[in-house]
Chains A and B, each alone.
Chain A
């Protein structure tokens, strides 16, 4: 069952990646071209999933939307990892006032949910993909810093670090050779879960009109546009909604699966 979850997660993530890669080379129709006489077509041929209120092919938009979803996820999660993990390691290894300062700054950012930070940034700098990515990334830093700090504290208390220290390894050596390899799996699990949350946050922002602006299709903006015709053409909203849900499900299952894989104690039935 657990195995199944991990594989389902991998399959769903692979599906999103495949859609994004395909969209780079080919889409059934032009995902930007407005065709007024083809508005709100039901699913059929040649528009497999129908068309939206602008007469744009929905399947083509979904494929391009996968690209945007991955782009925002990769950039924001990378930002959070690259800043958060070293900060957490620093706090964990240095301790004392350094740790205190890092954790207090992390507390401040933690008080801002990603969406609130994004609304604030969108108000200050205008809504764009970049503000969305930065807001989501920055809001996710504290989660990585905390995971990295907790992991570092654990590693620092281990016998092998004591051995390394007494044999004269300096703190950079300990950080690079002992701490980082040991907390990397934890950070990986965190990254997968953060990716799922980034997808949800980006979709919410685009839905609120504070993310990627039209004409670039994202799943969130597709839902936003579909809302106007929701009672007459609900399917139009169902496709992007389903796409978001499947992508989030995929990354969540992947994260859970990785965690179980790495930490056998969390596996069910072991008590």
Chain B
């Protein structure tokens, strides 16, 4: 139990630290937000009035506490350009990003599991080297360049799929799917390449286990023994890796959204940066960091639940 409470405490402290960092950086904006909003020809009186309206004339610690209180109660502030609550902007964008990230991770696993298994089983043959080489190559290609190449082939040359844009699932499921295929594939290929080496080493470990040798001895083929006994045992380390990779996937999604013009959280954030929409930047970054932290905490809890050995270790350490 103490282990869970400690993990929860770490989560809370990290979140608090992250919120201070976000607030400090955005509060450090050179020049005044009010001035930026009104333009250089605004009268000092109008700037002063706007500063008061946003509460910018009050001390920083007070503004921070107010903002933090808002975040904790689901009030992320109001965009000063669209005048909409930040949370209302995040909502629809979140759906896009969640689809992209979820399907992207699924696709990455569909690539990495078979490829990693081949790399482990055939690690002294050319097939294994080929998978390793492809994985190294995939890891080296920047996600936006990969996206551009995929667009060039599948939209430019073959004309099969739209190069950019998004249609909500409820409006038209077929168009929704058509618009998501290329971005999801881009994210899946790049993340899949990263995952392959972890899958490979997880399975290589299984290959030297007693239960695998026993399965082989009673007549299972290598692939069947690995599928029957390896996948379950490799799953624990894979959950960890996917948890650790999550922030990389989110970052990848931000870039992919930009490449494909998908109106997700990354798009929202980058637009807000372009327009210096302070509260949207603060809110979106806080939201993304919150998501990363929550999922990492859940991953930690999940193996405390799955693996009794970890629980025992936790009590000692």
| Chain A positions near chain B (C-beta within 8 angstroms) | 1, 104-105, 107-109, 111-116, 119-126, 196, 200, 203-204, 207-210, 223, 227, 230-231, 234, 237, 241, 244-246, 248-249, 252-253, 268-269, 271
Contact = CB atoms under 8 A, between A and B. Distances in A.
Interface stretch (B44-52, B84-92, B102-110, B243-251): B243-251
Contact of A249 (B140, B151, B270): B140
Contact of B124 (A112, A115, A244, A269): A269
B243 to A, nearest CB: 12
Interface stretch (B220-228, B284-292, B308-316): B284-292
A208 B208 contact: no
Interface of B: 10, 13-14, 17-18, 21-22, 25-26, 28-30, 123-124, 129, 136-137, 139-145, 148-149, 151-152, 156, 208, 247-248, 250-251, 254-255, 258, 269-270, 272-274, 276, 278, 281, 285, 288-289, 292-293, 296
B18 A111 contact: yes
Given A208-B255, A231-B156, A116 B285 contact: yes
Contact of A108 (B17, B139, B144, B274): B17
A227 B142 contact: no
A269 B30 CA distance: 57
A104 B13 contact: yes
A231 to B, nearest CB: 5
Given A111-B14, A120-B25, A230-B152, A204 B144 contact: yes
B143 A227 contact: no
B142 A203 contact: yes
A120 B18 contact: no
Nearest to B244: A110
Contacts of A246: 140
Contacts of A268: 123-124
Contact of A120 (B22, B141, B156, B208): B22
Given A223-B145, A231-B156, A249-B137, A125 B250 contact: no
Given A108-B17, A119-B273, A249-B139, 5 more contacts: A111-B293, A113-B248, A230-B148, A237-B148, A271-B208
Contacts of B21: 108-109, 112
B30 A125 contact: yes
Of the listed residues B17, B140, B250, the one surrounded by the most CB atoms of chain A closer than 10 A to its CB is B140
Of the listed residues A123, A125, A249, the one surrounded by the most CB atoms of chain B closer than 10 A to its CB is A123
